[in-house]
Amino acid sequence: MKTILAPIDLSDAAAGVTTEARALAGILGGKVLLLHVVPPPVVINEYSPEAERLADEEQLSAEQSLGYWQQNLKIEGVETEVALRHGPPVATILDEAVRTNADYIVMGSHGHGALYNLLVGGTASGVIQKSPCPVVIVPTQKAVAHATASNLKAS
C-alpha cells in the first residue's frame, strides 16, 4: 500500500492538501498520513507563562484540526492516520517521510514568492530540495488567484 504524507498547517491550505492527498490515495490504492508540525517556540525569556499557554492552545488546535481532517477522509473511505510532531518544519517533514517510507508528499504552498523564500525560506521549497520521494505542491487559492492575475497582466 502506498503512503501519501500530507503535512498540513492550520491555514486554509489544509483543504486543498487533503483533497489532493485523497485523490492520489484513491488512484494508488494508498493511505494518507496527515502530519502537523508544531515549530519550536520563540523564547523571549527563560520562563513565560504566556508562551506556555499559547503552545498549549496550538497543540489543542492542531489535535482538533488533525481529527477533523482524518474524520473527513475516513468518511470518504480513505485509510488515514495522523501524526503530530514538534520541531523545525522542513526537517521534521523529511524525517517523517523517511520514517514512514512515504511514496509521495502532498503539501501546500502559500505562494509568497522568490524574495520571501530567499529571506525567510519556504517550507515547501525546503522539502522539495531534499525530499526522498516525489512532492506534489498544492497552491492556496490566494496563490492561484495571484498567479492568474499575473498571467492576465502579462497577456
The per-residue pLDDT for 6 is 97
Alpha carbons 111 and 13: distance in angstroms, whole number: 11
- Mean pLDDT of the region 119-123: 60
Instruction: Tell me the per-residue pLDDT of 54-86, one tens digit each, with 9 for 90 and over.
Output: 778 888 999 999 999 999 999 999 999 999 999
143 contacts 111 by C-beta, under 8 angstroms: yes
CA distance 7 to 107: 6
* More reliable by pLDDT, 113 or 16: 16
Q: Rank 40-49, 52-61, 89-98, 141-150 by mean pLDDT and report only the highest.
A: 89-98
Q: Nearest CA to 13 among 155, 154, 143?
A: 143
Mean of pLDDT over the chain: 82
At which residue does the C-alpha cell 530540495 appear? Answer: 129
Residue 144 has a pLDDT of 46
Tell me what pLDDT residue 148 has: 40
Q: 3-154 has which CATH code?
A: 3.40.50.620
Helix, strand or coil, per DSSP, at residue 140? coil
Domain boundaries along the sequence of the chain:
3-154
| pTM more than 0.95 | no
